[in-house]
Structure 1
Amino acid sequence: MVYLMACFMLLLMGVCAVGMVFNIVMGNNLFIPVMPTIVKRPSQPKVVPNTLVQGPTARAPQCPDEDNAHRFDCYPEDLATQEKCEARGCCWRKPNGVPFCYFPPDYPSYSLGEVKSTPLGATAVLTRTNASSPYPKAVNQLTMDLRFETDTRLHLVLNDTASKRFEVPIATPTATGKAASPLYEVEYSHDPFGIVVKRRSNGRVLLNTTVAPLLYADQFLETSTSLPSRNIYGLGEHRGPLRHSTDWVRIPFWARDKPTAEAEEDVTNLYGSHPFYLCVEEDGQAHGVFLLNSNAMEVILQPAPALTWRTIGGILDFHILLGPDPNSVIQQYWDVIGYPMMPPYWALGFHLCRWGYNSANRTMDIVHKMRDAGIPQDTQWNDIDYMTSHLDWTYDGDKFAELPAVVKDLHDHGQHYIMIVDPGISNTQKAGTYPPYDVGLKRGVFINDTDGNPIVGRVWPGDTTFPDFTNPITQQWWLEMAADFHKKVPFDGMWIDMNEPSNFVDGSTHGCPDNELEKPPYTPAVVGGTLAAKTLCASSQQHLSSHYNLHNLYGHFEIIASHNALVSIRGTRPVVISRSTFPSSGRHGGHWLGDNKSSWKDMYYSIPGILNMNMFGIPLVGPDICGFGGETNEELCLRWQQLGAFYPFSRNHNTLGAKAQEPIVWSAATQESIRSALLTRYSLLPHLYFLFHRANKMGEAVARPLFFEYPTDNNTWGVDTQFLWGDSLMVTPVLEQGATKVTAYFPNDTWYDFYSGRPVVPVGQNVTLDAPQDTINLHLRGGAILVTQQPSTTTTASRKNQFGLVVALNRTLEAWGGLFWDDGDSLDTEGKKEFTMIKFFSSRNTISSQVMMSGYPGTKDMSLGSIRVYGVAQKPHSVMANKEAVNYSYVQDSQMLSLNNLTLPLSQPVQAMWA
């Protein structure tokens, strides 16, 4: 009776499954049937013909007055009519702003067969019960494979029982046994099939597919779920606030070269595809769901709240991640897709580029002026203007004849060089004069059309062919082309653009065939309305499958090819910055946010952009500082450079024809403010490097939203104008024109002004901060120890300087931190034990270090030159460092204790005390 009452209450909320429910008992591999639910749906035929609905269905749908928020769209195509809707067996009502045509509660889909235990969980066959299907080639039988892979990860796969379907060719972890103490419980409904996943600790429903029918045809797969809250994040790549609206938002996924729109928010498909969401529940617990599928798709968010996945190929391969906090969800997601690469130290410096330098001399002139101004810069870049006629793996022998000398000069000054490389390879050069095409054609490295010939599109060099990076032969060819060019211009990294892939024509120069891949039964709401819009024909053929299946993976496989080429050529950690990405791309490279605009709105949207990419496992990320398109101005560029000094990847870049926006073009006052922000960044690079190390080894995001650290504080759930480095350094930029004050939210914790050490009072609320034009607000959370270093204008020079500590005591007068240090460039320094790891901790009046590993050869030359301690309530009478009295200063107003002019060797334990 208790169960029946509970089920009745859940049914009212759309949660309790209708039909026979099976509860999985994890301890002894049994599936114990529990009492049937109150309402039992009518039985349906077990074997059905594979047909389309051609007219009104014989089954009269039950169409109660459904709450509008709980309507699930039965006719997502345009031009729905009542006749078309009812022909699908669905309900027709016409309120504004919600689907007119929606599924009735008795809509048939699949029935669940016998559930059998497996070593990892359970399996069963699902049989289609609908006598007709709204989409052709409906799959009659599905195999459900449910795997209890870890205590916090549930893996659900729905696949065609009879036929092999395309699956994403990315390795994911393989469990060896069933989870022993899972945080989840699973229930099924029998007819129609549905699955319910609950959080075991409180019974909260995290996933409930019984709210709408499962549809599974060859080119149309759809499933829906209720959501436990409206706090939904992720689902990229798109432009908009960090937290998604659930007010009937349609989010498409299909990699596309598309400049940002002028609208307030743009949820059209952009450069990458990341079908993962994180949900923060009402009590602050969190979970995530990842659909491993690379086909064109869309997600619908509706105010129930609920979510619908709709894809046009592949399989339904879900990873459900239980958290229970946001940081844990991200770690569990990265467990599936792989932890991000460890970048070389120099990649964390400041990068400078523009389209329109026009010559090697102009490029070198910018570098010289940056040096003369004393503004930090580690890497100089070139856009496509360095090439001969925009041809990959060439440089202009007239305007850029001195490019090798430019690169040598950069290297002589401890700096680096990166150039752009697009995937499109010209096919119009005279035979025998352009090896990238001649050799590539001979080896068959290009994507083919349906006739077996290289498909021809058009990009910067004119007519072009497109390498198929899923082909191992292509990856070897790419390496050879890069190696030949590196002999002439010894570049240090690769900037790979236009790799959605972008195309100036739709499909090809000859159009696309008229077939089911080009004109699927349903096309998600992609920009351009067709899959071929400004990219390749979906029916073009690649080594692993059709472009229809592989399009969203194009940039990902180019990242891998470029990563491997750089490792082979240079023998050091590679830097690959790509525009198009996919889950697990962060294992091989980084990302810039694409063609933004010089606007205050775009500067704001860059923060959700970098935070989303950190969730997606690509922490080396940043936008074009000061904006790519349009014209910037001095105030906007100053504020953006201040913010950009704290992007994980920091690069200023703009477009052809726009006025210059390098730091050296502005007034002396603005230059000084930019210099100050960048020097602050460089002083913090040891800490940033430590965060990247933890991302690489521990699965922790580098840049984080506030709610990652304070998930139970609902005031943080919508904050996307501030962010954190790691768990402790808060960045609060100015994002509005003319502002000299900024509002920051401080969670209920101990916070200090980073520069002065002054405690923030009050906390747990918004605080208005002064923000003069020479300042970006930084605050440090109590409990943190940051390792700093005296900055220089390159990382090469900075790494030779003394280190420092910034110690922020928490309410119990404790703090922790660490330093990971190696040569900053070599591969696998941890595997070779050529690194140094030091832990720092502080308790009450004592700071200590512990050398965990001392394998870096230069450890003997590393010394600690300064210590700043925040939160020291009283002026000490004496201060000791390594048992010797040292000079110190104390500021009563800010309660900051400073120890300077130290020379404490970090190769040995350090201890500082005050009394």
Structure 2
Amino acid sequence: MWGKRTGYEKEGRRVRIQFEHGEGQIEIVNPWVINVFSPLHTQEHESRAVEHPNFAFEDCDFRVSERDGRIEIVTAELNVKVYDHFHVDFYDAVGTPLCLDYRGSRDPFLRRGNVDIAEGEGHEAMRTTGHHKIQILKAMEGGEKFYGLGDKTGPLNKKGYEYEMWNTDDPSPHVESHKSLYKSIPFFITLKERAAYGLFFDNPFKTFFDMGKENSDYYYFGADDGNLDYYFIYGPDMKNVVTRYTALTGRTPLPQLWTLGAHQSRWSYAPEARVMEIADKFREHDLPLDAIHLDIDYMDGYRVFTWDGERFPDPAAMIEKLKEQGIKIVTIIDPGVKKDKGYSIYDEGLDKGYYATDRDGVTYVNTVWPGDSVYPDFSNEPVRQWWAGNQKIMTDAGVAGIWNDMNEPASFTGPLPDDVRFKNDGRETDHREVHNVYGHLMSQSTYDGILNATGKRPFVITRAAYAGTQKYSTVWTGDNQSFWEHLRMSIPMTLNLGLSGFAFNGCDVGGFSHDCTPELLARWVQVGAFSPLFRNHTAIGTRDQEPWAYDEQTLNAYRKAMKLRYRMLPYLYDLMREAENTGLPPMRPLVLEYPQDESVQELDDQFLFGSMMLIAPVVEQGKRHRAVYLPEGKWYDYASGEVLEGGQAILADAPLDVCPIYVSAGSFLPAYPDQKYVGELKIKELLLDVYPGTGEYVHTQDDGESFDYRSGSYNEYRFSQSEKDGELEIKLEKGNSGYAEAYSSFRLTVHGLSVSWVELNGEAIPFLAEIRGTTFHIPAESGTVRLKR
């Protein structure tokens, strides 16, 4: 495409390279991150994911030279070599190859026979993807593993699969052959024997990823339009790749604490009496709950920002009554605005020209829930501001969060036509360029509106997303099914979402479509208890999926899992703070922490909760035990306290109400006492489980709802432990003390350790030997504890 090089020039952090048939650019984002760009569609980047100013960009020294028919660009960490035809190769600082362009042409393996015959009978025949305007082929050495690409179906490792980035509302049962789902996150991590790196193809048009499916000599990514615009992100550790990618595209802000509690949803809870019945039943059955979600039937004729006056005669009063039980309301808002003269939202948007149009400039109309509907042009800043302002209609009624759905955008007739027009912040374009970022821009507008209306950390949940949406919204995996296979598949889907920047994610616990069986619900809630977003959600026409709708055994298993979830909330909250600071997700594949352990590189039915807890759920019907792989080190069985050596597989017992859980030696796990909802108790004494070994932990405390912590309104507690000469030493150092409602004390339980003596700052203190371990209390101040056997 580009031809031979004809010259180059250095311009600030960019190196512009002239070719016979165009220009290429290499931009130094920082010593580990390099952007490769060619202006095939616009002269400059027009990214919806990478916003400026951006703290990923830093001034750094680099050298440019020309030698042996190539240009070399050298940072402190990378050596980038650019050749004719804009081939770009990446090496580490000592010259080890990391990521090299494939010099051959695409050479798909042979497909035999007349596939038209198969398609005529109704089979979906496999066809080789055609060539694209932009396609970058990268050479494979053979041992690569690929992770990320959002919540695509299939296993954790995406090698040998192909995908398309085109946000798609597809409610059919999701299987490994699905190329597209609701989100387009064109980022993946490559793990090699020596190092890991990421590639982010920042192109909002429909893009294509073949991870060695059509030929094992190369993998490729491409697009039919847009710019060549990708980022090479060097680790060499996988965690560094995630951290640097999220520095570029943004990180999940610390959510309000209540959003980490349990959410209950259904299509639909209506009328008001049914909502109140659900709330009462949760309290009656001693089940913790923080939020109920209202689906489309709360609206007046599916008109967004309205309430059905018969079903919900006084929404504010209902929400106030629920507040007395500690339960908040989250309402769905779709982008489709009912075409209805006299409906204020429609009229105002029409008057101001805020809707997408056809190619003749006439407002585009399609069919969604309200019938004939129009689509706000979220690519236009005044429209985003208008939509943001409308959020106040809901928050003034007491609504605590907004659930954006059908924002691929979806219609009852399929994707919008390619020629639907959008203003695109001053550079008019068509649907092909806006489609994949439509839900992203809607989420941004919703986030800004809630923030402006309430001043609190916004809770937004979206189905459609693009890279960087994690700055504005949590996500879920869309319309799954109540199948065991969907439970199994939800684990690699949510793990890859986490690796793709979406730290706050989950799936519909129990499954959305079909009928969930008692055993499936009991096992699914054991996974959901450790998913950052926990929501039980099911479809219209399915059986009741609330836990009391099943037998007593299922109800008890559900309650046990939820009480554990609420016990672990301070730990999850700390993990979400870590996600804001580093991009690392709470729910992690084992390969993220143990990348060189070949036993975990394709392990996708276990996961880590932070770095300290290993969760091994049962995902097969009828199983009451399962094999569990423990990585290197010492691990404590969470239930029994047994100490196990890592680097081996074990057989774990797993009765219906038990999910095997293990905690690494040297861990601290903060915990809350039983609560029905977040904020029910004013917690003055934090519980802290200690697992002897060597380790450190930082716990923070703030108001749980505002952004005041960013200006210092938080308390920080630093714990460390070490073993020596038969003693365990635990240190507490109190750091920042900017939040007034501080803990007064900690109750420590040290597991697996029989002691004869406990001292604090050299003075003996009382302790209690219990089944779970040795328990004692200390003030929430700096000090040193020693335990002697």
Report 1:7-86 matches (<5 A). Answer: none
Between the aligned partners of 2:98 and 2:701, the Cα distance in structure 1 is 44
Find out whether 1:589 has 2:473 as its counterpart: yes
Report 1:892-903 matches (<5 A). Answer: 897-900=773-776, 902=777
Deviation, structure 1 residue 885: 2.0
Equivalent residue letter for 1:323: G
Between the aligned partners of 1:695 and 1:390, the Cα distance in structure 2 is 36
Partner of 2:759: 880
Report 1:236-635 matches (<5 A). Answer: 236-246=150-160, 249-261=161-173, 263=175, 265-283=176-194, 285-302=195-212, 303-427=215-339, 429=340, 431-432=341-342, 434-487=343-396, 489-505=397-413, 533-544=414-425, 545-635=429-519
Partner of 2:68: none
Partner of 2:721: 842
- Kept in 1, the 8 Å contact 2:388–2:447? The answer is no
Deviation, structure 1 residue 647: 0.6
- Kept in 2, the 8 Å contact 1:166–1:314? The answer is no
| Structure ID, larger Rg | 1
- Kept in 1, the 8 Å contact 2:588–2:610? The answer is yes
Equivalent residue letter for 1:123: R
Deviation, structure 1 residue 777: 1.3
Between the aligned partners of 2:349 and 2:282, the Cα distance in structure 1 is 40
CA 846–671 in structure 1, closer or farther in 2 if over 3 Å, else same: same
Between the aligned partners of 2:45 and 2:59, the Cα distance in structure 1 is 24
Equivalent residue letter for 1:456: V
Deviation, structure 1 residue 209: 4.2
Find out whether 1:147 has 2:27 as its counterpart: yes
Deviation, structure 1 residue 604: 1.0
- Kept in 2, the 8 Å contact 1:846–1:914? The answer is no
Find out whether 1:220 has 2:133 as its counterpart: yes
Between the aligned partners of 2:529 and 2:186, the Cα distance in structure 1 is 29
Equivalent residue letter for 2:34: L
Between the aligned partners of 1:478 and 1:287, the Cα distance in structure 2 is 38
Partner of 1:825: 705
Moved more, 661-670 or 613-622: 661-670
How far does the alpha carbon of each residue in 1:271-305 deviate from its partner, in whole angstroms, 9 at most, with x for none? 1111111011024x211111111111111222424
Which of 204, 210, 219 is the matching residue for 2:103?
210
Between the aligned partners of 1:288 and 1:485, the Cα distance in structure 2 is 40
Report 1:172-187 matches (<5 A). Answer: 173=54, 174-179=57-62, 181-187=75-81
- Kept in 1, the 8 Å contact 2:186–2:200? The answer is yes
Count of residue correspondences: 741
How far does the alpha carbon of each residue in 1:615-662 deviate from its partner, in whole angstroms, 9 at most, with x for none? 121111100000000111100011111111111100000000100011
Find out whether 1:852 has 2:720 as its counterpart: no
Find out whether 1:807 has 2:717 as its counterpart: no
Say which SS state the counterpart of residue 299 (structure 1) adopts.
strand
- Kept in 2, the 8 Å contact 1:790–1:804? The answer is yes
Deviation, structure 1 residue 782: 1.8
CA 119–312 in structure 1, closer or farther in 2 if over 3 Å, else same: same
Equivalent residue letter for 1:435: S
Deviation, structure 1 residue 227: 2.9
How far does the alpha carbon of each residue in 1:345-390 deviate from its partner, in whole angstroms, 9 at most, with x for none? 0000000010132311011101101001111101111111111111
- Kept in 1, the 8 Å contact 2:200–2:230? The answer is yes
Partner of 2:46: 167
Deviation, structure 1 residue 166: 7.3
Deviation, structure 1 residue 223: 1.8
Between the aligned partners of 1:262 and 1:726, the Cα distance in structure 2 is 28
Partner of 1:126: 19
Find out whether 1:230 has 2:112 as its counterpart: no
Q: CA RMSD in A?
A: 2.2
Report 1:710-749 matches (<5 A). Answer: 710-749=594-633
How far does the alpha carbon of each residue in 1:669-695 deviate from its partner, in whole angstroms, 9 at most, with x for none? 222221111111111111111111011
Deviation, structure 1 residue 342: 1.1
How far does the alpha carbon of each residue in 1:819-866 deviate from its partner, in whole angstroms, 9 at most, with x for none? 1110100124222x111111101112111111111111101x442123
5+ residue gaps, structure 2, are 63-73, 108-129
- Kept in 2, the 8 Å contact 1:120–1:176? The answer is yes
Say which SS state the counterpart of residue 444 (structure 2) adopts.
helix
- Kept in 2, the 8 Å contact 1:388–1:394? The answer is yes
Say which SS state the counterpart of residue 796 (structure 1) adopts.
coil
Which of 643, 653, 667 is the matching residue for 1:784?
667
- Kept in 2, the 8 Å contact 1:497–1:578? The answer is yes
Between the aligned partners of 2:788 and 2:710, the Cα distance in structure 1 is 36
How high is the TM-score relative to the length of structure 1? 0.78
Find out whether 1:865 has 2:747 as its counterpart: yes
Equivalent residue letter for 1:239: T
Between the aligned partners of 2:445 and 2:11, the Cα distance in structure 1 is 38
Say which SS state the counterpart of residue 409 (structure 2) adopts.
coil
- Kept in 2, the 8 Å contact 1:610–1:622? The answer is yes
- Kept in 1, the 8 Å contact 2:422–2:434? The answer is no
Find out whether 1:914 has 2:788 as its counterpart: yes
- Kept in 2, the 8 Å contact 1:613–1:621? The answer is yes
Deviation, structure 1 residue 442: 1.3
Equivalent residue letter for 1:290: F
How high is the TM-score relative to the length of structure 2? 0.90
Between the aligned partners of 1:648 and 1:183, the Cα distance in structure 2 is 34
Deviation, structure 1 residue 219: 7.8
CA 799–562 in structure 1, closer or farther in 2 if over 3 Å, else same: farther
Say which SS state the counterpart of residue 18 (structure 2) adopts.
strand
Deviation, structure 1 residue 309: 1.5
- Kept in 1, the 8 Å contact 2:40–2:226? The answer is no
Between the aligned partners of 1:198 and 1:420, the Cα distance in structure 2 is 48
Partner of 1:795: 678
Greater RCO between the two (CA within 8 Å, min separation 6)? 2
- Kept in 1, the 8 Å contact 2:760–2:783? The answer is no
Which of 622, 641, 657 is the matching residue for 1:757?
641
Say which SS state the counterpart of residue 446 (structure 1) adopts.
coil
- Kept in 1, the 8 Å contact 2:719–2:730? The answer is yes
Identical residues among aligned pairs (%): 27
Moved more, 687-696 or 788-797: 788-797
Find out whether 1:704 has 2:588 as its counterpart: yes
- Kept in 1, the 8 Å contact 2:499–2:584? The answer is no
Deviation, structure 1 residue 798: 4.8
Between the aligned partners of 1:539 and 1:113, the Cα distance in structure 2 is 40
Deviation, structure 1 residue 758: 1.3
Between the aligned partners of 2:651 and 2:132, the Cα distance in structure 1 is 53
Equivalent residue letter for 2:77: L
Between the aligned partners of 1:306 and 1:664, the Cα distance in structure 2 is 52
Between the aligned partners of 2:735 and 2:290, the Cα distance in structure 1 is 30
How far does the alpha carbon of each residue in 1:583-606 deviate from its partner, in whole angstroms, 9 at most, with x for none? 111111100110000011101111
Moved more, 411-420 or 736-745: 411-420
- Kept in 2, the 8 Å contact 1:702–1:726? The answer is yes
CA 502–661 in structure 1, closer or farther in 2 if over 3 Å, else same: same
Which of 193, 198, 215 is the matching residue for 2:91?
198
Between the aligned partners of 2:786 and 2:319, the Cα distance in structure 1 is 45
5+ residue gaps, structure 1, are 1-107, 128-140, 506-532
